[in-house]
Amino acid sequence: MQRKTIIILASVGGVLLLALMFFGWITGIYNSLVKLDEGVKSSWAQVENQYQRRLDLVPNLVATVKGYAAHESEVFEKVAEARSSVGKLQVTPEVLNDPQAFEKFQQAQSGLSSALSRLLAVAENYPQLKANENFLQLQAQLEGTENRIAVERKRFNDIVQDFNSRVRTFPASIIAGMFGFGPKPYFEAEAGAEKPPQVKF
C-alpha cells in the first residue's frame, strides 16, 4: 500500500514538474515576443517623433521662402497640401499591424518629402534667400531632421527584422500564432528612389 502511494505521488509530482517546465517555456517565449513587440512600438515612436519635428519646421520654412518668392504659389500649395495630408493621418499602434495603413502613412510622408524638395529647389533661384540667416538655419534643421528620420527608419527596420525573425521561427511561431503576434511591415523605399532626382530651373 505504501509503495503504491509513493509511486502515485512520484507520478503526480513528475507530471506537475513537466507541466511547470512547459508553462515556463511558453511564458519565456511569450515574454520575449512581448519585449520585441514593445521594441517595435518604441522604435516607431521615435520615427514619428522625427516626422513631427519635420512637420513643425515646414511652416517656418515656407514663410521664409514666401517672403522672397511670393509668386511660387503652386509650390506653396503643394507643400501645404502634403503637410495637411500627413497631419490628418491618425497613427495608432494598429498601423504597425496593418500593411495597407502603413503603406498609406509612408506615401503621405513621401509626398511631404517630395514637396519639400520642390520648395528647396525654388529657393535655389533666389540668391538673397540662400544668404538669409533664417533660411540657412531652417534648411540646416530640415537636413538634420531628414538624417534623423533616415537613422530612425533604419533602427525601426532592424527591430522589425528581429521581431519578424522571432515570430516566424519554430517553436516561437506556434506561440506567436496562439497569442496573435504577426509579422510587422518594414519601411520601404519609394519606387524609383534609386534614381537621383532631377532638379530643373
* Structure confidence by residue, pLDDT tens digits, 65-111: 887 777 777 888 888 888 888 887 777 777 778 888 888 888 888 88
Q: Does 195 fall in a domain?
A: no
Structural domain contains residue 168: yes
Structural domain for 25, as ranges: 2-179
Of 111, 106, 109, 113, residue with least CA distance to 142: 113
Q: How confident is the model at residue 191 (pLDDT cuts 50, 70, 90)?
A: low
* pLDDT over 90 at 199, yes or no: no
This prediction has a pTM of 0.75
The pLDDT confidence band at residue 1, using thresholds 50, 70 and 90, is low
In whole angstroms, give the CA distance from residue 184 to residue 187: 10
Q: Is the pLDDT of residue 124 over 60?
A: yes
CATH of the domain at 132: 1.20.1440.20
* 38 Cα distance to chain centroid: 13
Q: Is residue 18 part of a domain?
A: yes
Query: How many domains are there within the chain?
Result: 1
39 three-state secondary structure: helix
CA distance 102 to 106: 6
Distance separating alpha carbons of residues 84 and 195, to the nearest angstrom = 27
CA atoms within 13 A on the CB side of 179: 16
Q: What's the rounded mean pLDDT across residues 33-44?
A: 93
Would the pLDDT of 193 be above 90? no
